[in-house]
Amino acid sequence: MKAKADQEVEFRIYEKSRSVLVLPKILFWLAFPLLSLVFLANLINIISGGPELDRAIPEFIATCFGFLIVMSVPFQIINQYNSIRTTKNGLYVNIYVFTHQWKFIPWEDVFEIKLSPLLDRWRNPVWVIKVKQLTYWHSLLSQYYRVNSGPGIVLTSDLRDRDRLLDIIDKRLSDKVPSKKKQNSTSGTVSEN
C-alpha cells in the first residue's frame, strides 16, 4: 500500500542501528572536555609568555586539529542515521548538534534525490536527499558520499521503509517540475514531446 504524499509518516532507524550511535557520542563527550582543558592550558601559556612557549604553540595547533576531528567525525557518524518525518508542508529531520532536535525543511527546499556511488555498511545503495540548508556535517556527508557539495540527508538501509520514503519524495519532486506540455503552453506553443 502506497502512502499519499500529504500524509504524515515517520521513518525511523532500526533499533539494532541505534547501537552504532552510542560510541561516537561517548567519544565526543569524553574527548571534548579533555581537549578543552589542553586548549585552555596552552592558550594561557601562550598569552602569558610562559617558559614552555616553544612547546605550547605546537600543542596549541595540535589541539585545534583535535577539536576539528572531535567535532567532525562523531557528528558525521551520528547524522548519517536521521529519523525523518514527512508532512504536507515538508520534511522534519532529526539531526544531532550536541543534542537531538527536529529540523523542518519545506518541500521547496528539497531539490533532488541522488544515488551515491558508495555503499552503506550492509553493502546496499545509499541515497542522498539534496536540500537547501542543513548542518555543516550534512554538507560533509554529501561530499563523502560523492553527490557534490551542499547539504544532504543520507538514506542508508538502516532506515525503516526507506523505499517508501523515496517514493514519497520522488512524487513531491515530480509534482514540483511542470511537464513539457505545461511549459510550452505558457509560451504559446504546445508540444507533445
To the nearest whole number, what is the mean pLDDT of the chain? 87
- Of the given ranges (22-26, 88-92, 168-172, 184-188), which has the lowest mean pLDDT? 184-188
Q: Where are the alpha helices (DSSP H) in 13-52?
A: 15-18, 22-48
What does the alpha-carbon distance between residue 64 and residue 127 come to, in Å, rounded to a whole number? 33
What pLDDT, in 10s, does the model give residues 53-88?
A: 778 888 889 999 988 998 899 999 999 999 999 999
